[in-house]
């Protein structure tokens, strides 16, 4: 009987799929990358989000790809660090970044997005962020600082990046492709003509980046920006 039940569970999981657990990696004692996953046409893709650990709480950069993992992420972070999530910043309007901000709004966790991202979310009938990001401003949470920057259109018209000056780490979001990416991914909202110009502006502003975190793909590899330019040249 146990074998039959196990077989039923196995068939059910295979038929309907299971949500892959969130994966965590630390860059240093304050910055970490977390990965969530989704499947399209039978192919699994990852999304790289980040979070900043401050003495006041945790700042989240982009939400999990699966809405069912929003609370899971909050719970895991609290268990790991004994700190709550105190802010959420979305780097553009797509589901792997802004998702459903109503979850965080309901919990009274401050949510942030640019005016353009909020406008796009509103058009799509989705929850908007409670606070508008001030581009170029140095945000300070506890003793930690970061800057949200916009260099132009690329993957989307509203894609922003996060710069951590103390660590020289750049959260490139979906503006930057992974070093192992074979193509530009979803380009339905992209401006491919402007994309390389936008990345060039970013590189000129930050010539001494130590670590780049792309929106997808293997973030631990090197050469993300170089591969982004290479993929754009093929278009």
CATH number of the domain that residue 69 is part of? 3.60.15.10
How many residues belong to the chain?
235
* E strand segments, 119-229: 131-132, 138-141, 144-149, 161-164, 169-173, 211-214
With a pLDDT cut of 70, the percent of the chain lying above it is 93
pLDDT digits (tens, 9 = 90+) for 206-229: 999 999 999 999 999 999 999 999
Residue 84 lies in a domain: yes
Give the residues across from 28 on adjacent strands.
none
Residue 117 lies in a domain: yes
pLDDT digits (tens, 9 = 90+) for 65-86: 999 999 999 999 999 999 999 9
pLDDT digits (tens, 9 = 90+) for 1-29: 333 323 222 323 333 457 899 999 999 99
Residue 8 lies in a domain: no
Q: Write the Ramachandran bin of 108: left for phi over 0, alpha for psi from -120 to 50, otherwise beta.
A: left
Residue 91 lies in a domain: yes
Average pLDDT over all residues of the chain:
92
Residue 186 lies in a domain: yes
Question: How many structural domains comprise the chain?
Answer: 1
Euclidean distance between CA atoms 19 and 39, whole angstroms: 9
Average pLDDT on 114-142 reads 98
Residue 4 lies in a domain: no
Asked whether the predicted pLDDT for residue 154 surpasses 70, the reply is: yes
Residue 158 structural domain: 19-233
């Amino acid at each position: 009987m146990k074998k039959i039940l196990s077989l039923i569970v196995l068939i059910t999981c295979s038929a309907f799929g299971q949500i892959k657990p969130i994966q965590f990696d630390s860059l240093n004692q304050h910055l970490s990358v977390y990965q969530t996953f989704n499947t399209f046409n039978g192919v699994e893709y990852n999304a790289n989000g980040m979070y900043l650990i401050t003495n006041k709480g945790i700042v989240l950069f982009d939400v999990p790809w699966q809405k069912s993992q929003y609370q899971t992420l909050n719970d895991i972070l609290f268990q790991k660090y004994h700190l709550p999530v105190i802010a959420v910043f979305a780097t553009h309007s797509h589901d792997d970044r802004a998702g459903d901000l109503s979850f965080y709004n309901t919990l009274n966790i401050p949510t942030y997005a640019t005016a353009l991202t909020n406008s796009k979310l509103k058009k799509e009938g989705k929850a908007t962020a409670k606070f508008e990001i001030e581009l170029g401003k140095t945000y300070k949470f506890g003793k930690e600082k970061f800057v949200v920057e916009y260099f132009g259109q690329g993957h989307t018209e509203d894609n922003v990046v996060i710069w951590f000056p103390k660590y020289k780490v750049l959260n490139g979001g979906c503006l930057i492709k992974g070093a192992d990416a074979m193509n530009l991914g979803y380009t339905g909202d992209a401006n491919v003509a402007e994309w390389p110009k936008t990345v060039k502006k970013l590189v000129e502003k930050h010539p001494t980046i130590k670590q780049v975190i792309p929106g997808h793909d293997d973030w631990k590899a090197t050469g993300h920006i170089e591969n982004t330019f290479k993929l754009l040249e093929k278009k």
